[in-house]
Amino acid sequence: MGQGVKTSRRTVIAGLAGAAILGRTGAASAAGDVASLLAGAMTGPYPLKGMVAGLVMGSGDARGQRIVTQGTADNGRMLDGDTVFDIGSLTKLFTALALADMVVRGQMAMDDPLGRYLPAEVPDFEGRPITLRDVATYSPGLPGWPADMPPLGKTFPDYPVARLYHALSATKLDAAPGTRYVYSNFGYGLLGLALARRADTDFESLIVSRICKPLGMESTEITLTPALQERVSPGHDRKLTKVTSWIAQEAFAGAGAFRSTANDLLKFLTAAMALKPSPLAAAFAEMLRTLRPSDEPDTRVGAGWFISRGHGNRLVWKDGGVLGYSSFLGYAQRKRNGIVLLANGNFDAEKLGKHLLNEEFPL
């Protein structure tokens, strides 16, 4: 979402041929390799103040989880697994999972029209409506942002929900929903609003009650408590100057408003990988039930996730970025290894995340 996030995606992943970094023999070896790569990334073309990586090693001799840090939080605190970062578009995974959970519970259906849940006129394409499945799988027929969206800058533009609904009603679809990949913050903002209306609550409360509490994610919120605010690592621009976090508007909360920690995202990741029993297991499976093309030949999209094939394996992943922060979360299905990356600056977390799961994918 926003600055630092590409709307034209994705680079092809090669899978896990050869020696995957997270598949090294021994936890110390794997953590050491990750620490070295983090250090290198921090002094790259886009320097960073600090990074936190959460490792999941689900196979081999190094099974378990590790937290690896490099640099500083730049607020007088040490970086650790409980440091709070803006996670940007990783929020879309929460939105898609909440939809999948409602589908599993029989409260919604993937092929329900989006317009059923919004108090606005929703355009169609020659009678073909936009469905919840279309929005969740990045093929809504809508553009990336509303046509009247102001430029993204040091602060997030004031864009109320009523204006979003008006922009939706005024949008003319140039392709049938479900037929063309578009990375749409517009669509995911609308999806978050639709889910919240169906649950008769606000979006943050929906995600906290349906996802965070069942998974034990106690440090994942939009509006931070004073205790969580104390653990925030400030974001930085590419000159390493501190920036003020965006206050994401309600209209786009479903696209990228949440903050979280490496420890909390490890809980989400291990549940997604089915490494332990989870009350959301059926919902996680639902997210991968429908796969559609992306703009890269070897990468498809599910609900929220990007899924890349290569070398006899599949990599399931998502990245995110807002002003001052970058993030990545992903796992290899067959090797059952995963990674969480959080940085207090903007850089290509997607490339580093992929390389950590497959060292043949170049930095």
Interval 243-293: pLDDT, tens: 999 987 899 999 999 999 999 999 999 999 999 899 999 999 999 999 999
| Cβ–Cβ < 8 Å for 36, 312 | no
Helix residue spans in the chain (DSSP H)? 27-42, 91-104, 132-136, 161-170, 185-199, 203-207, 213-215, 226-229, 253-256, 262-272, 281-287, 349-357
311 band by pLDDT with thresholds 50, 70 and 90: low
Give the integer Cα–Cα distance in Å for 284 and 267.
13
Whether residue 124 is predicted with pLDDT greater than 70 in this model: the reply is yes
pLDDT band at 60 (very low <50, low <70, confident <90, very high): low
* Residue with tokens 């990334």, as numbered in its chain: 41
For range 145-157, the mean pLDDT? 94
Tell me the three state secondary structure of residue 11.
coil
Whether the Cβ atoms of residue 202 and residue 194 lie closer than 8 Å to each other: no
Q: Reply yes or no on whether the pLDDT at 20 is more than 80.
A: no
CATH 3.10.150.10 fits 21-357, yes or no: no
DSSP letters along 282-325, please?
HHHHHHTT--EE-SSTTEEE-SS-EEEEETTEEEEEEEEEETTE
Q: Which of 13, 222, 211 is nearest to 95 (CA)?
A: 211
What pLDDT score does 58 carry? 72
Q: What is the pLDDT of residues 29-57, one digit of tens each?
A: 567 788 889 998 888 788 899 999 999 98
Among 185-194, 310-319, 353-362, which is the least confidently predicted range? 353-362
User: Count of CB atoms within 10 A of residue 16's CB?
Assistant: 26
Report the C-alpha gap between 123 and 120 in whole angstroms: 10
Per mean pLDDT, which range of 8-22, 103-117, 252-266 is the poorest?
Answer: 8-22
Domain ranges of the chain: 21-357
